[in-house]
Amino acid sequence: MRKAQSNLDAYLKESEQIDRIEDVEEENSSLREELEQTKGKLQELHAKVREAETKVEIEETEPQRFVNDSDARCMKHKGGHFDASYNTQVVAEKDLHVIMAYSVTNDANDVQQLAPVSKKTLEIAKKNNIKIAKQLGDSGYCNAKQIQELEKLGLDCVVGVPKVFQKEQDIENGVTFEYDKENNVVRCCQGKCLEYFTTKQRRGINYKIFKATNKDCTCCPLRDKCTKSKYGRSVMVSEDHEWKENYRIRMEQPENKRLLRERFGIIENVFGTIKCWAGKCPLLLTTMEKVCSEIALYMNTYNLVRLANLCGYGRKLPNTI
Ligand code: SF4
């Protein structure tokens, strides 16, 4: 009887264990299922992110084209609207406000324009035995390689350095970063290392991107002021970062600041005068070749009127130089 009882106990114990194993297996299989579903969703999300990134890259490298003018590009105008446009560069002499050189491109920004138009100006100046001491430009023209190239040719470039909004905000919030070139890392004011992540190109300039780990940022007392990203802070360092910092200090000198202020009055007067004569959107022709000819007419007419006025001939046009 006792043996039968112990056999029964052992049987019950074993069946209880089997039940527990079955329960765990069932739970495991439902977890596995859940995991597979999450993996699938994650893959879908990754594919969407890749698709969006490719789209952005294509949009950045291949700007929008227009059916009626394949050379024009979509550019942003004052007031924030976009339109089919060309980009005209003008170099004017500081005292006489005479146009020395100009060029027409379909680049949506000016970051690659300083060197070509300045070299053209140097050539014209050389032919006419004119000495050019300085070339002025706003921060849209700030391109380390081109400024260095022009300074090697003996042209002193006074070009504004763009302000980095994020950097200013960081300083305001008491967050600072230092780039350690030797080890290729960025260190934040909390002593944490932001490791190199990738390199991206923007407006023809390479930027290294460094990322902090989420673990470091989560327990940081400055997190709320530093980043809103749930993946931790990332920082961009341009390839010309060191040069730009030195150049920024040079441009902060009072004489250079004064020249940059003066530049506005010189060049905007030329553009303002032409727009005053011809209207805000003066282009009547399409495609690069014809647009270049049309712009040449505007520039040459401006110079002729300007010279006539300087020499005291003819009737001065209203609202002009
Ligand atoms: S949030 Fe991250 S990157 Fe920013 S200061 Fe703190 S640790 Fe450094």
10-residue averages of pLDDT along the chain (321 residues): 79 83 83 87 84 65 71 85 90 92 92 93 92 90 91 93 83 90 92 92 84 91 90 89 89 94 90 82 86 94 90 62 47
CA distance 47 to 52: 9
217 touches ligand 1 (CB under 6 Å):
yes
Pocket test for ligand 1, best of 178, 190, 225, 227 (most atoms within 8 A of CB): 190
CATH architecture of 73-160+252-311: 2-Layer Sandwich (3.30)
- The pLDDT of residue 117 is 94
Segments making up each domain of the chain, as ranges: 1-62, 73-160+252-311, 165-243
- 87 closest CA partner among 66, 101, 108, 68: 108
Looking at the DSSP bridge assignments, the partners of residue 112 are none
Q: Are 305 and 320 in contact (CB under 8 A)?
A: yes
Q: Which of 134, 124, 141, 164 is nearest to 262 (CA)?
A: 134
* Ligand 1 atom 2: residue of nearest CA: 217
Q: Is 122 in the pocket of ligand 1 (CB under 6 A)?
A: no
* Residue 131 half-sphere exposure toward CB, CA atoms < 13 A: 2
Check residue 321 and give its pLDDT: 47
Could you tell me if the CB of 220 is within 6 A of ligand 1?
A: yes
Cα separation of 166 and 164, whole Å? 6
| Helix, strand, coil fractions of the chain, as percent rounded to 5 | 50, 20, 30
pLDDT of residue 17: 85
- pTM of the predicted model as reported, rounded to 2 decimal places: 0.68
CA of 163 to the centre of ligand 1 (A): 22
Asked whether 257 and 251 are in contact (CB, 8 A), the reply is: yes
Q: Is ligand 1 within 6 A of the CB of residue 227? A: yes
pLDDT at 136: 94
Q: What is the pLDDT of residue 318?
A: 52
What region, left, alpha or beta, does residue 62 occupy, with left being phi > 0 and alpha being psi -120 to 50 degrees?
Answer: beta
Nearest CA to ligand 1 atom 4: 226
